[in-house]
């Protein structure tokens, strides 16, 4: 008995040290990553384009995103060159399209560089913010500074993300412990059920309070602002959190030990609804194949909770009351864990495809790199689970052999029994099995029984007569040793499981690879030169009648474009001509010729009225007249995006 206590203390010390180290690492991961504002919707385009120079104030600012976004009361902040706020209209969706954000501007904005800070909420409930500038007339020497609130308060974001981590952990403990208790019938880990319920309840309340400051980028003090709370309660994320609180209240009064068809149906619906509050406000609620994605997300979350939470319950039972944990219970949980892993793999593959969009995103996006890290962690978890299954099989084997011994011991005694066992028992090895119950054979790991009169295991004992005492000792090894081995493997499994849970939570707060790739493509498109310059040589066939036309098209894209053109004479200097006409034709679409309507500005030819309606390769024709009778038409193609 003393040896068992010392071993338990030694194992307990190891658990304490491992838990302390793991807690430190997890906290470092949490605090190191929680401050990063991961956005799930990305800015796809802006009108006016960031950095553009306009001749007059635009009527509105329109932003286009990669997915649907929600608008806030102060989604836009426009500052003039002197850092004064410009009075603007109410934020709205352009043309009713949910992936856009639009705000009207006043006509009398003045000139200079204006700074726009914007903040919206993506369809999967994460705030997205940014800034852009545009100039009217010409850029000013100074520009405004975006207020801190527009960029987001890091304290609110950090606290909100930490609450999300605890919510996932609480769900895993609550559902996992419940499933473990139902499957195994073991009560030793029942305390984790209350821990999970209280953790999930407290984290949900924290998320509800912090939701408003998190969305608006304000400080944590705004969490108790009645107007902010009222607005949060009517938003989709707020509604899902309120539903979660109602479900938790129902779970508090749900009988744990009841049975029957209605009890199972009610518990199943309660569990599905609880998991659905995550799916309705996370990645699954936006993007492609939303109905399928939400079903997949619910199954993924339930499988995660059953496996990881069940591991915590199993580990607790192994340390608190190992003797009360029968091998059959461990075997049943092992089968459940295998089913959960199968569901996790199937749903994980689908969610990875949906979130990534392409294999390149594995290496080029944060989402892809986190996904690779999760895959490695899951493989390590499966390796640890393999060892746990081996220890479970070894623990179960002696139980089967003890059951076989019980059957032999309880054979009837008397003359009939003596007659039955008077011969040699060849199935058990070599030796005689008497009706008096004197067992013969030596136990081994392989289960074969050989010997001549004693049963050897971790201890020695002789059983005689009917089964009136405890079961005979293990015939293939020490159950205590097997339990200690199982404790170590399950502890390793639980440690890796916590890492998997942390990475999973990080993934839910990271922009999916599909959206990140689309945003990167949009950024590259926006970074392209905002003007195309074409030089066309000409020669009218008269002395001094040749030169070059330089035509600059800004921005060189679909829509409104401005044109500037100059003519260089034979000596390379600027030349003046009586007339320069410019037309554009999109032959494949049978559009044009569209006249640019150039106006002479003292040798500089300009136009602000050219509208190119479609992308494609346009033919640009320039007609140059050098005298009253000498002219020529030359052409070049120009690509319009």
128-155: pLDDT as tens digits: 888 888 888 888 877 667 654 444 557 8
Q: Is pLDDT at 634 greater than 60 in this prediction?
A: yes
CATH of the domain at 610: 2.60.40.10
pLDDT of residue 22: 42
More confident residue, 404 or 505: 505
pLDDT of residue 466: 37
In a domain, 440, yes or no: no
* Enclosing domain of residue 237: 21-36+155-399+480-520
Q: How confident is the model at residue 540 (pLDDT cuts 50, 70, 90)?
A: confident
Looking at the 3D structure of the chain, how many domains does it have?
A: 3
Q: Are residues 179 and 224 in the same domain?
A: yes
In a domain, 319, yes or no: yes
Percent of residues, the chain, with pLDDT higher than 90 = 17
Q: Is pLDDT at 362 greater than 80 in this prediction?
A: no
Q: Do residues 565 and 579 make contact, with C-beta atoms less than 8 angstroms apart? A: no
Helix (H, G, I), strand (E, B) or coil at 253: coil
Q: Are residues 262 and 221 in the same domain?
A: yes
More confident residue, 421 or 61: 61
In a domain, 363, yes or no: yes
Helix (H, G, I), strand (E, B) or coil at 570: coil
Q: Are residues 92 and 29 in the same domain?
A: no
Which CA distances in Å does 167 have to 370, 398, 507? 20, 41, 15
Report the run of H or E that residue 239 belongs to, with start and end. Answer: helix 236-252
Structure tokens that stand for 620 in this block: 């640009």
Q: In which residue are the tokens 């073991």 written?
A: 186
Final residue before a domain boundary, out of 496, 520, 544: 520
Q: Are residues 159 and 269 in the same domain?
A: yes
225-271: pLDDT as tens digits: 898 899 889 888 899 999 999 999 988 887 666 566 777 788 888 89
pLDDT of residue 261: 74
Q: Do residues 189 and 200 make contact, with C-beta atoms less than 8 angstroms apart? A: no
Percent of residues, the chain, with pLDDT higher than 70 = 70
Which CA distances in Å does 163 have to 170, 204, 206, 592? 10, 8, 6, 60
Nearest Cα to 438, choosing from 447, 425, 448?
425
In a domain, 16, yes or no: no
Q: Do residues 152 and 159 make contact, with C-beta atoms less than 8 angstroms apart? A: no
In a domain, 469, yes or no: no
Q: Are residues 185 and 323 in the same domain?
A: yes
More confident residue, 435 or 620: 620
Q: Are residues 72 and 160 in the same domain?
A: no
In a domain, 470, yes or no: no
Q: Do residues 353 and 288 make contact, with C-beta atoms less than 8 angstroms apart? A: no
Report the run of H or E that residue 638 belongs to, with start and end. Answer: strand 631-640
Q: Are residues 233 and 367 in the same domain?
A: yes
pLDDT of residue 388: 66
* Residue 535, φ and ψ in degrees, nearest 5: -115, 125
HSE-up of 398 (CA within 13 Å, CB side)?
26
Helix (H, G, I), strand (E, B) or coil at 578: coil
Over residues 8-31, the mean pLDDT reads: 42
In a domain, 412, yes or no: no
CA dist 93 and 77 (Å) reads 16
Helix (H, G, I), strand (E, B) or coil at 447: coil
Residue 591 bridge partners (DSSP): 586
Helix (H, G, I), strand (E, B) or coil at 193: helix
Q: Do residues 279 and 292 make contact, with C-beta atoms less than 8 angstroms apart? A: no
Q: Is-cis flag, bond preceding 48, omega within 30?
A: yes
Q: Are residues 140 and 239 in the same domain?
A: no
Q: How confident is the model at residue 196 (pLDDT cuts 50, 70, 90)?
A: very high
Concatenated DSSP letters of 399-431: HHHHHHHHHHHTSPPSHHHHHHTSS--GGG-SS
Report the range of poorest mean pLDDT among 184-198, 497-511, 554-568: 497-511
Helix (H, G, I), strand (E, B) or coil at 591: strand
0.75 exceeded by pTM:
no
CATH of the domain at 94: 2.60.40.1220
Q: Is pLDDT at 494 greater than 70 in this prediction?
A: yes
Concatenated DSSP letters of 467-507: S-SSPPPPSSS-HHHHHHHHHHHHHHHHHHHHHHHHHHHHH
**Which DSSP symbol is given to 124?**
T
CA dist 237 and 163 (Å) reads 14
Q: Is pLDDT at 17 greater than 60 in this prediction?
A: no
Report the range of poorest mean pLDDT among 295-304, 351-360, 509-518: 509-518
Q: How confident is the model at residue 391 (pLDDT cuts 50, 70, 90)?
A: low
Q: Are residues 307 and 369 in the same domain?
A: yes
User: Which residues lie below 8 Å from residue 235, measured CB to CB, with a gap of 6+?
Assistant: 70, 121, 211, 215
CA dist 563 and 578 (Å) reads 18
pLDDT of residue 25: 41
Q: Is pLDDT at 72 greater than 60 in this prediction?
A: yes
Roughly how many angstroms between the first and final C-alpha of the chain, as a whole number?
A: 82
Which CA distances in Å does 492 have to 15, 171, 619? 10, 21, 69
Q: Are residues 239 and 328 in the same domain?
A: yes
Q: Are residues 307 and 392 in the same domain?
A: yes
In a domain, 413, yes or no: no
3-state secondary structure string across 505-556: HHHHCCCCHHHHHHHHHHHHHHHCCCCEEEEEEEECCCCCCEEEEEEEEECC
More confident residue, 384 or 375: 375
CA dist 100 and 514 (Å) reads 19
Q: Are residues 117 and 187 in the same domain?
A: no
**Mean per-residue pLDDT over the chain, rounded:** 75
CA dist 123 and 125 (Å) reads 5
């Amino acid at each position: 008995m003393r040896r068992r206590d010392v071993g338990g203390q030694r194992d307990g010390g190891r658990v304490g040290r491992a838990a302390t180290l793991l807690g430190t690492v997890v906290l470092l991961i949490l605090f190191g990553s929680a401050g990063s504002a991961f956005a799930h919707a990305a800015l796809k385009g802006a009108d006016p384009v960031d950095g553009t120079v306009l001749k007059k104030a635009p009527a509105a600012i329109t932003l286009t995103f990669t997915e649907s976004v929600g608008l806030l009361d102060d989604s836009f902040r426009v500052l003039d060159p002197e850092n004064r706020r410009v009075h603007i209209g109410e934020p709205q969706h352009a043309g009713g399209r949910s992936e856009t954000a639009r705000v009207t501007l006043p006509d009398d904005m003045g000139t200079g560089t204006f700074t726009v800070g914007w903040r919206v909420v993506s369809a999967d409930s994460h705030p997205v913010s940014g800034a852009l500038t545009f100039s009217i007339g010409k850029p000013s020497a100074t520009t405004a500074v975006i207020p801190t609130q527009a960029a987001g308060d890091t304290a609110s974001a950090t606290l909100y993300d930490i609450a999300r981590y605890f919510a996932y952990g609480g769900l895993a403990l609550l559902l996992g412990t419940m499933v473990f208790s139902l499957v195994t019938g073991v009560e030793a880990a029942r305390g984790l059920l209350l821990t999970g319920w209280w953790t999930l309840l407290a984290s949900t309340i924290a998320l509800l309070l912090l939701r408003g400051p998190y969305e608006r980028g304000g400080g944590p003090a705004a969490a108790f602002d009645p107007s902010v709370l009222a607005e949060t309660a009517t938003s989709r994320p707020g509604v899902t959190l309120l539903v979660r609180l109602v479900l938790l209240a129902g779970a508090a009064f749900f009988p744990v030990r009841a049975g029957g068809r209605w009890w199972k149906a009610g518990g199943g619906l309660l569990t599905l609804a609880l998991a659905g509050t995550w799916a309705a406000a996370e990645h699954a609620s936006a993007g492609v194949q939303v109905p399928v994605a939400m079903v997949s997300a619910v199954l993924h979350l339930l499988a995660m909770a059953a496996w990881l939470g069940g591991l915590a319950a199993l580990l607790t039972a192994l340390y608190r009351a190992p003797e009360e944990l029968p091998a059959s219970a461990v075997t049943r949980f092992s089968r459940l864990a295998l089913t959960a892993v199968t569901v996790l793999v199937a749903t994980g593959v689908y969610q990875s495809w949906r979130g990534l969009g392409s294999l390149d995103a594995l290496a080029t996006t944060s989402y892809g790199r986190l996904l690779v890290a999760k895959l490695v962690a899951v493989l390590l978890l499966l390796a640890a689970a393999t060892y746990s299954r081996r220890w479970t099989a070894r623990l179960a084997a002696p139980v089967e052999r003890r059951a076989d011994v019980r059957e032999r011991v309880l054979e009837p005694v008397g003359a009939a029994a003596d007659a039955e066992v008077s011969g040699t028992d060849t199935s058990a090895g070599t030796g005689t099995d008497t009706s008096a119950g004197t067992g013969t054979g030596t136990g081994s790991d392989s289960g074969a029984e050989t010997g001549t009169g004693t049963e050897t295991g971790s201890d020695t004992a002789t059983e005689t007569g009917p089964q009136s005492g405890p079961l005979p000792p293990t015939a293939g090894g020490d159950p205590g040793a097997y339990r200690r081995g199982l404790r170590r493997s399950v502890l390793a499994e639980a440690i890796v499981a916590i890492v998997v849970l942390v990475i999973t939570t990080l993934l839910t707060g990271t922009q999916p690879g599909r959206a990140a790739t689309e945003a990167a493509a949009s950024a590259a498109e926006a970074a392209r030169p905002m003007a195309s310059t074409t030089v066309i040589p000409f020669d009218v066939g008269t002395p001094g009648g040749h030169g070059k036309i330089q035509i600059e098209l800004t921005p060189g894209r679909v829509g409104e474009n401005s044109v500037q053109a100059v003519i260089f004479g034979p000596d390379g200097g600027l030349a003046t001509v009586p007339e320069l006409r410019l037309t554009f034709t999109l032959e494949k679409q049978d559009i044009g010729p569209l006249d640019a309507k150039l106006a002479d500005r003292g040798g500089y030819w300009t136009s602000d009225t050219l509208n190119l309606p479609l992308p494609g390769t346009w033919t640009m024709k320039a007609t140059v007249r050098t005298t009253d009778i000498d002219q020529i038409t030359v052409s070049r193609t120009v690509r319009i995006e």
